Structure 1
Amino acid sequence: MKIKDVETYIVGNSWKNWLFVILRTDDGLYGIGEGTLNGFAKTVEAAIHELKHLYIGMSVFDVETVSLKMIRDVYSDGGQIQGSALAAIETACWDIIGKITGQPLYKLLGGRCHEKLRCYANGWYRGPRTAENFYEKAKDVAARGYTALKFDPFGSAWRTVEPDDFRLSLDIIAAVRDAIGPDVDILIEGHNRFSVHTALQFAEAMAPYKPAWFEAPVPPQNISSLVEVARRSPVPIACGEDFYCREQFAELLKANAVHIIQLEPQFLGISASKQICGMVHAHNGVTAPHSAQGPVCSVVCAHLNMATPNFYMHEIFDEFNEPWEEHILTPPLRVNYGYIELSDRPGLGVDINLEEVHKHPYHPGNWLPLFRQGWEKREQNH
């Protein structure tokens, strides 16, 4: 069962262009994957085709060797771009393996560890950055059955903030807590915005509202800064979505300071992601994979989470995206009152609807400008 060819498709979503692949074998089977990366859809697409001389002709079962050839053998550090290209191909291989064996992906990764997956909502607060907007939208999300909500209250902040902006951020956090009551978790998204000092100021100020975590409060490149914030913060710190290799996680975990790890299968591939879940397990930590790319990535994370004993929460962006997204995959991934239950369909258990894909072409303005005023509105950037 050898890889014969690869096809790529870009879907134009107003906040992020999604990149999908269809990998075909010499026996007529195919699998699907995703290589979405904010701002780099065409770049990752080019990498998938430029590197295909390394994986065409390989067995779909040799996923570890596919990874070595696409990462190690190139002998260049292409970071998230190279990782996204690998993940797209490797995911499609796993999808085909599931179809050949008649098993869902999660059973190939170790089997069912949970009856269902607890989800947290993200992307629900589209609109103006006001406490009133966050309050009303948070009430709606909680009414849908979600027991956890994530949001970024910080606007376009970078490193430091003015006093009035600091107060507005805290007012938004307070409004969400007031809207949903004490029994729903709030998760504060930092988007790598702050210096260590500012991050700790915010951590102290938000602590009375009892966030379940403060995510990515400082940039990921200096792991020592992440560790310093984690050790001094009264709020648990979560991070890891920016990392694209095992070594970065090893460096973070050895400090024994961060215990909520948000690995990104989109940058790592499924094989490495499973191994990193085991590394986190060995450090008495839990996993909450980043799942805010496209719909295939959401399905991949669901399978990984189902097979991970130390899984914590599953991120859901899809329900708060464009309404046509539910037609991109057949059948779509559904959230039932805040939880996901996976089927036993083989492989990923979904397919790409190319008819719907072709309705939404690529646009260079489809990206998320997190350091621009008003990014929360998620409007196309012309």
Structure 2
Amino acid sequence: MKIREISPIVLTSKEGGSATWASTMILVRVVTSDGTTGYGEAVPTLRVSQVFRAVEQVAKSLVGKDVERLERNYHDWYLQDFYLSRSFESATAISAVDIALWDLVGKELGAPLHLLLGGKFRDSVPVYANGWYRDCITPEQFAERAKELVRKGYKGLKFDPFGRYFDWIDEKGLREAEERVKAVREAVGDEVEIMIEHHGRFNANSSVEIARRLGKYNPLFMEEPVHHEDVEGYRKYRRSTNVRIALGERLISLKEALFYLREGLMDVIQPDVTNVGGVTVARKVCALAEAFGVEVAFHNAFGSVQNAVSVQLASVIPNLLLLESFYDWFPSWKRDLIFNETVVEDGHAKVTGRAGIGVSINEKLLEELEADPKTLEVKEEPVWVVQGTWK
């Protein structure tokens, strides 16, 4: 099959989710010479219009080429874009197209993605909850919401207890964070995993102090405790703490992942299939991590197509730790977009056997939600935090 058309589609609705980014989604539709349609997803954040244009530019390179030549198609864009290794917009655009091409190959062969990647290693994917603590400020609010998760069957949850602190944190902030973490740990007990989200926003000294205060609550990992690009900070954090480190959602290439792995800066890697290079690169990152003895917990925060692909990938790799899941905290239209085909039950995501990425797209809803790409408003509360917690 030949690639006939590559189109970015912005979706939005008045119904938001647990974070600012949740109200927007960027799908990429690839149509073949015989009319078959495949879908991928790109990252919105504050770059909706830029990513939209980046997808259009990728289309100029790949339209007319063979759908099935997945490795070659990625490499052809690598050849064309001199700045791919430094451009998030370019990386997420080619990632979305790559996902759609895998979707098409699966449909052509009548096989789900997990079968194309070697078959299921597990029949269901263990997930941890994120997005659940919207508007939680007090320890009591965090604790009550955490109890609800356990009642729903979740065995793991992640949250950011740091309020509006950025770069540094003082004694007041440390005390507030500890009170929240302590309340959650006491609410869920020792059998439920907790993970501490730092959003990559602290300097090394502050993150080390955080680890010393919160390590006693036995977090499964500390996520992005230091700014992503602060390699020296991560080295200091590694030398100064004994907590497990998770990072990787901002990685945009295989070779960047190799650098952090070789430096020994993580225990858990968190590649995002929508910006690391799609399925083609994500599966290589997982294999590389396996060789380094590092577990995988895919970053999975944006939309239902990303979630579907991440579930498929998570089902096949031997070194999976857990999969992040916002699924139950998506706005309902994101679940409706895929006919709610990847439900979470008892802390596990359903692995579907549908050909391609494992879900079908509600074309009627897609038409209803399509919108022009626009720049987003910038507010005091950053888009990367769960809403109502920047206090």
TM-score range, shorter chain: over 0.9
**Matches of 1:370 and 1:318 in 2, distance apart?**
23
**Matches of 1:368 and 1:71 in 2, distance apart?**
35
Q: Establish whether residue 57 from structure 1 lines up as the match of residue 64 from structure 2.
A: yes
**SS of corresponding position for 1:10:** strand
Amino acid at match of 1:158: F
Aligned counterpart for 2:362 among listed residues 343, 348, 353: 353
Aligned counterpart for 1:294 among listed residues 295, 303, 312: 303
Paired position in structure 1 for 2:100: 92
Q: Report the Cα offset of residue 133 of structure 1.
A: 1.3
**SS of corresponding position for 1:290:** coil
Checking the alignment, whether the CA contact within 8 Å between 1:216 and 1:238 is kept in structure 2 is yes
Q: Establish whether residue 310 from structure 1 lines up as the match of residue 348 from structure 2.
A: no
Q: Report the Cα offset of residue 307 of structure 1.
A: 1.2
Checking the alignment, whether the CA contact within 8 Å between 1:368 and 1:375 is kept in structure 2 is no
Summarize deviations over 1:153-192 as a string: whole Å, max 9, x none. 1112111123222211111101111110110000000101
Checking the alignment, whether the CA contact within 8 Å between 1:8 and 1:22 is kept in structure 2 is yes
Paired position in structure 2 for 1:218: 226
Aligned counterpart for 1:23 among listed residues 26, 30, 33: 30
Amino acid at match of 2:388: K
Amino acid at match of 1:27: D
Paired position in structure 1 for 2:350: 341
Q: Report the Cα offset of residue 352 of structure 1.
A: 2.1
Paired position in structure 2 for 1:230: 238
Q: Report the Cα offset of residue 99 of structure 1.
A: 0.6
Paired position in structure 2 for 1:12: 12
Amino acid at match of 1:86: I
Q: Report the Cα offset of residue 140 of structure 1.
A: 0.3
Amino acid at match of 2:304: P
Distance 1:266 1:372, change over 3 A: closer
Count of residues in correspondence between the two structures: 379
**SS of corresponding position for 1:266:** coil
**Matches of 1:231 and 1:318 in 2, distance apart?**
36
**Matches of 1:224 and 1:99 in 2, distance apart?**
46
Q: Report the Cα offset of residue 130 of structure 1.
A: 1.5
Checking the alignment, whether the CA contact within 8 Å between 1:112 and 1:307 is kept in structure 2 is yes
Q: Report the Cα offset of residue 106 of structure 1.
A: 1.0
Give RMSD over aligned pairs: 2.1
**Matches of 2:303 and 2:232 in 1, distance apart?**
31
Percentage of identical aligned residues: 27
Distance 1:335 1:83, change over 3 A: same
Q: Report the Cα offset of residue 241 of structure 1.
A: 0.7
Q: Establish whether residue 73 from structure 1 lines up as the match of residue 80 from structure 2.
A: yes
Summarize deviations over 1:310-368 as a string: whole Å, max 9, x none. 11101111211223322111343110110023121111121222332344446644789
**Matches of 2:384 and 2:35 in 1, distance apart?**
49
**Structure 1 segment 135-284 matched on structure 2, within 5 A:** 135-268=143-276, 269-284=278-293
Paired position in structure 1 for 2:116: 108
Amino acid at match of 1:202: I
**Matches of 1:11 and 1:314 in 2, distance apart?**
24
Checking the alignment, whether the CA contact within 8 Å between 1:38 and 1:367 is kept in structure 2 is no
Distance 1:366 1:320, change over 3 A: farther
Checking the alignment, whether the CA contact within 8 Å between 1:35 and 1:44 is kept in structure 2 is yes
Q: Report the Cα offset of residue 254 of structure 1.
A: 1.1
TM score, norm. by length of structure 1: 0.94
**Matches of 2:185 and 2:46 in 1, distance apart?**
33
TM score, norm. by length of structure 2: 0.92
Q: Which runs of 5+ in 2 are unaligned?
A: none
**SS of corresponding position for 1:250:** helix
Amino acid at match of 2:325: I
